[in-house]
Amino acid sequence: MKKIIVAGIIAFIMMVAAVVFLLFYRSRGSVRLIPEKEYAVNDLITSYDQRDPEWKDEKLGNSSYTIGSSGCVLTCITSAISDTEVKTTPKELNKLFSEKSVYDENGNLQWGILDEIDGFHTDVYDEVSQEIVDECLENGHYPIVRVRTLQGTGANHYVLIVGAENGEYICMDPLKGNFTTLEEYGRKIFAVRCVWYE
């Protein structure tokens, strides 16, 4: 009986250690963000759902991937420029990006090619910091940040930070098609991109 109890305790300890290691491993390279000041959310920013029936089955360029399955970055960009004179949808913007060969064969967005399209400007940051996010917001731009679902431990995903209120960064989440807070992703980000149109 004692051997069974000891084996159970050892198995439990190993399971806890594996979970702790997994959480640590999944969080490596991230930066935790809590805003130090507020950035008002622009009422003109439109939220989009990448799984909207109107465009969810549209292919990203010549790839086998669709807006619904892999179009979170595209949907973030559509939302990021929704406060400009460019009135577009993820479907229309995807058509433009596909025509301009912005996607690679796996449906990944090629930032340098996007930057060559008239009116579009991109900043791709090699580092991740709260200062970069705040600088984008102060310049009137909206950072696209890579997060992990499930409080920062799940799958990679991109959301658009559109402001900061009540001690939380406000995000447009393409999988939800509405606004939420960065707290939902453990307040952790892994990469920053910024796209604007002028």
pLDDT above 50 for 164: yes
The predicted-structure confidence for 61-115, as pLDDT tens digits, reads as follows 999 999 999 999 999 999 999 998 888 999 999 999 999 999 999 999 999 999 9
Q: What CATH number did the domain enclosing 70 receive? A: 3.90.70.10
User: Considering the chain, what is the average pLDDT of its residues?
Assistant: 89
Here the tokens at position 116 are 């060559």
Here the tokens at position 193 are 């991109």
Average pLDDT over residues 15-32: 52
Q: Is residue 70 part of a domain?
A: yes
With 0-12 / 13-18 / 19 or more C-beta atoms within 10 angstroms meaning exposed / middle / buried, residue 2 is exposed
The predicted-structure confidence for 32-68, as pLDDT tens digits, reads as follows 989 999 999 999 999 999 999 999 999 999 999 999 9
Q: Is residue 8 part of a domain?
A: no
pLDDT above 60 for 21: no
pLDDT above 80 for 18: no
Q: Is residue 178 part of a domain?
A: yes
Residue 124: give the domain boundaries: 30-197
Q: Is residue 9 part of a domain?
A: no
Task: State the pLDDT at residue 62.
Answer: 96
- Dihedrals phi, psi of 4, to nearest 5 degrees: -65, -40
Q: Of 72, 108, 109, 74, give the one whose Cα is nearest residue 92.
A: 74
Is 82 in a helix, a strand, or coil? coil
Q: Is residue 81 part of a domain?
A: yes
Where residue 152 falls (left for φ over 0; alpha for ψ -120 to 50; beta otherwise) is: left
Task: State the pLDDT at residue 55.
Answer: 98
**Strand residues in 11-97 grouped as ranges (E):** 31-32
Is 47 in a helix, a strand, or coil? coil
- How many domains are there within the chain? 1
